[in-house]
Amino acid sequence: MVTSPPSPAHQKVTIRDIGREGDGIGQLENGQIVFVPGTLPGEEVKLRLNDQETELLERLNDSPVRVEAGCSLAGICGGCVLQHMQDSALLDWKVARVEKALGQAGFQELPPPQRFQAAPHTRRRMDFALQRVEGGITLGLHARKGAPVDMTACLLLHPRLAALLPPLREVLGSLGALTGRGGLNVNLLDSGPDLTLETPAPLSSSDQAKLAAFAKEWDIPRISWRAGPGKPLETVAQWQPVHHQFGQTKVSPPAGAFMQATQEMEAMIAAAVIAGLPALNRKDRIFELYAGCGTLTFPLAQHGHVQAYEGHAGAIAALQAATHGTRVTGFSRDLNRQPLLPQDLKAARVVVLDPPHAGAGAQIAPLVRSEVRDVVYVSCNPQALETDLASLAQAGFEVLAWTVIDQFLWSAEVESVIVLSRDPKRIRKARKAAA
Ligand SMILES: C[S@@+](CC[C@H](N)C(=O)[O-])C[C@H]1O[C@@H](n2cnc3c(N)ncnc32)[C@H](O)[C@@H]1O
């Protein structure tokens, strides 16, 4: 068969790497870097190029780690951008991302990492997009570019939440307040699913009655509402107490609270943090920054007195309300506007920090200038990790242990726990144990 050479608008490219959004990365003949969704390193692809975008026409070979994606929405729904990759290869890639971030931060000598990966059907937190469409609503995650994709299947969601999707679609579709786009945060707590709804128009009394009936029928202790992200929250229906256990302590998380995405990986994060603590005596204080409503705080309190700092008013109120009889003191503090200064950190034997996606920002410089010698850093973003830890590397900290947690299976997200110290004795001991 005679094949015509590719036209100038068509080009063959070999995928060399995976980018931080999960797309394959290749290079055009003119040197331009292109991102090709759904492709893996080693695959040769034929692309159509125009000014606006690059379109994948054909994949000419398969990577040895390519697998058939199991979900009928793979490639359409924006939730799983790497479901076509073997799980073990995906975890290897995530470990390599964290290793690269640590290397670029300045840590050359690293012990072997610990690594964990979430199982399917364990996701207990999800932010859904809602959109009014003809005849009902779409309830799902956004496509890579564009509108939400109706979640008619999901291999990630916990079965308790997956079972709620059809009745939720029905009740939300019947609300007059959902006139256009909206949102729904779902957290599966010990007390049951906790729902926070956002609609463009306020809920009418008939909408509220429908949601209250739905809550009872589907055993949902609380449904809250707000006009949009950051807007004040109102409780629409609550007919049972809301609670969740962290360590040995029961907390009542606020609506829309930050929760680790799966219970099993939360336990791995907590275990890695606790294993990373230096030897503590009764008087020692653990300073915990970005504590949320206590996920790590209460497990940590079994090992020392915890001073927990958090900027979200609802989260710190929930944490403070649960401290009775524990060794925890909670402080409401915006650590960007008012970071803990070296003198504030004098009492800290160890600092545990779990900052948001953007990293610890203004808190890093005073931490480096303080006398704190032991730090455990929990990260959900390798880029921010690299930026923050570069300052610690320069200040003489070394990595004693690191753990990579693939909590957001089939996505490009990666979590890690990094144990650092600038105590020469502890560093020597860790090196000896690793040898
Ligand atoms: C990744 S979450 C970790 C929460 C908690 N450690 C957990 O595992 O559930 C980051 C936390 O940092 C808090 N946060 C974000 N910016 C902050 C700031 N400027 N000051 C204090 N806390 C902040 C958020 O409210 C959130 O609770």
DSSP state of 223: E
Which strands sit side by side in the sheet containing 24-27, from one edge to the other?
17-18, 24-27, 33-36
* DSSP-based three-state secondary structure for 341: coil
CA distance 333 to 189: 26
Query: C-alpha dihedral over 56, 60, 66, 68, to 10 degrees?
Result: 70
Q: Whose CA is nearest to atom 12 of ligand 1?
A: 290
Q: Whose CA is nearest to atom 27 of ligand 1?
A: 292
The verdict on 290 and 405 lying in the same domain is yes
Ligand 1 atom at shortest distance from the alpha carbon of 297: 6
The neighbour count for residue 201, using CB atoms within 10 Å, is 14
Is residue 300 domain-resident? yes
Q: Whose CA is nearest to atom 10 of ligand 1?
A: 356
Bridge-based pairing state of the strands 148-150 and 136-142:
antiparallel
Determine the residue of 258, 335, 338, 367 to mutate for testing ligand 1's pocket, defined as the one with the most ligand atoms within 8 A of the Cβ atom. Answer: 258
Is residue 80 domain-resident? no
The verdict on 298 and 423 lying in the same domain is yes
Q: Please identify, among 215, 244, 273, the residue that sits at the C-terminal boundary of a domain.
A: 244
Annotated catalytic residue 380 = yes
Q: pLDDT tens string for the chain (435 positions)?
A: 445 454 558 999 999 999 999 999 999 999 999 999 999 999 999 999 887 778 899 999 999 999 999 999 998 898 999 999 999 999 999 999 999 999 999 998 899 999 999 999 999 999 999 999 998 999 999 987 788 999 999 999 999 999 999 999 999 999 999 999 999 999 999 999 999 999 999 999 999 999 999 999 999 999 999 998 889 999 999 999 999 999 999 999 999 999 999 999 999 999 999 999 999 987 899 999 999 999 999 999 999 999 999 999 999 999 999 999 999 999 999 999 999 999 999 999 999 999 999 999 999 999 999 999 999 999 999 999 999 999 999 999 999 999 999 999 999 999 999 999 999 999 999 988 887
Q: Whose CA is nearest to atom 6 of ligand 1?
A: 291
Structural domain count of the chain: 3
Could you list the residue range(s) of the whole structural domain that residue 101 is in?
87-118+261-434
CA distance 270 to 300: 8
Is residue 1 domain-resident? no
Q: What is the reported pLDDT for 61?
A: 97
The verdict on 406 and 424 lying in the same domain is yes
For residue 330, give both structure tokens.
């909670």
CA distance 354 to 290: 5
CA distance 83 to 90: 9
Bridge-based pairing state of the strands 328-332 and 305-310:
parallel
Name every protein residue with a CB atom under 6 angstroms from any ligand 1 atom. 258, 260, 290-292, 295-296, 310-312, 315, 334-336, 354, 356, 380
Q: How far is the CA of 335 from the centre of ligand 1 (A)?
A: 9
Find the catalytic residue in 71, 80, 154, 380: 380
For residue 297, give both structure tokens.
């705080």
Determine the residue of 310, 353, 364, 408 to mutate for testing ligand 1's pocket, defined as the one with the most ligand atoms within 8 A of the Cβ atom. Answer: 310
Ligand 1 atom at shortest distance from the alpha carbon of 266: 8
Q: How far is the CA of 178 from the centre of ligand 1 (A)?
A: 30
Which CATH number belongs to the domain containing residue 54 in this structure?
Answer: 2.40.50.140
Ligand 1 atom at shortest distance from the alpha carbon of 334: 20
Q: How far is the CA of 110 from the centre of ligand 1 (A)?
A: 27
Closest CA to 125 of 435, 380, 430, 383: 380
Q: How far is the CA of 48 from the centre of ligand 1 (A)?
A: 43
The verdict on 45 and 155 lying in the same domain is no
The verdict on 114 and 132 lying in the same domain is no
Over its C-alpha atoms, the chain yields an Rg (Å, rounded) of 24
User: Model ipTM?
Assistant: 0.99
Q: How far is the CA of 133 from the centre of ligand 1 (A)?
A: 35
Residue type, 418: I
The verdict on 330 and 211 lying in the same domain is no
Q: Please identify, among 218, 244, 270, the residue that sits at the C-terminal boundary of a domain.
A: 244
Q: How far is the CA of 257 from the centre of ligand 1 (A)?
A: 10
* DSSP-based three-state secondary structure for 243: coil
* DSSP-based three-state secondary structure for 58: strand
The verdict on 396 and 267 lying in the same domain is yes
The verdict on 111 and 150 lying in the same domain is no
Is residue 77 domain-resident? no
Which CATH number belongs to the domain containing residue 237 in this structure?
Answer: 2.40.50.1070
For residue 56, give both structure tokens.
């994948």
Q: Binding site, residues?
A: 260, 290, 310, 354
Is residue 197 domain-resident? yes
The residue ranges of DSSP E strands in 37-191, in sequence order, are: 44-49, 54-59, 114-117, 125-133, 136-142, 148-150, 181-189
Which CATH number belongs to the domain containing residue 300 in this structure?
Answer: 3.40.50.150
CA distance 392 to 353: 13
CA distance 226 to 21: 30
The verdict on 363 and 399 lying in the same domain is yes
Is residue 348 domain-resident? yes
The verdict on 235 and 275 lying in the same domain is no
Is residue 43 domain-resident? yes
The verdict on 25 and 136 lying in the same domain is no
Ligand 1 atom at shortest distance from the alpha carbon of 290: 12
Q: Binding site for S-adenosyl-L-methionine, residues?
A: 260, 290, 310, 354
Q: What is the reported pLDDT for 8?
A: 57
Ligand 1 atom at shortest distance from the alpha carbon of 380: 1
Is residue 280 domain-resident? yes
Q: Against a cut of 0.80, is the pTM above it?
A: yes
Determine the residue of 300, 312, 408 to mutate for testing ligand 1's pocket, defined as the one with the most ligand atoms within 8 A of the Cβ atom. Answer: 312
User: For residues 185 and 139, is the Cβ–Cβ distance under 8 A?
Assistant: no
Burial of residue 131 (CB within 10 Å: 0-12, 13-18, 19+) is: middle
The verdict on 97 and 136 lying in the same domain is no
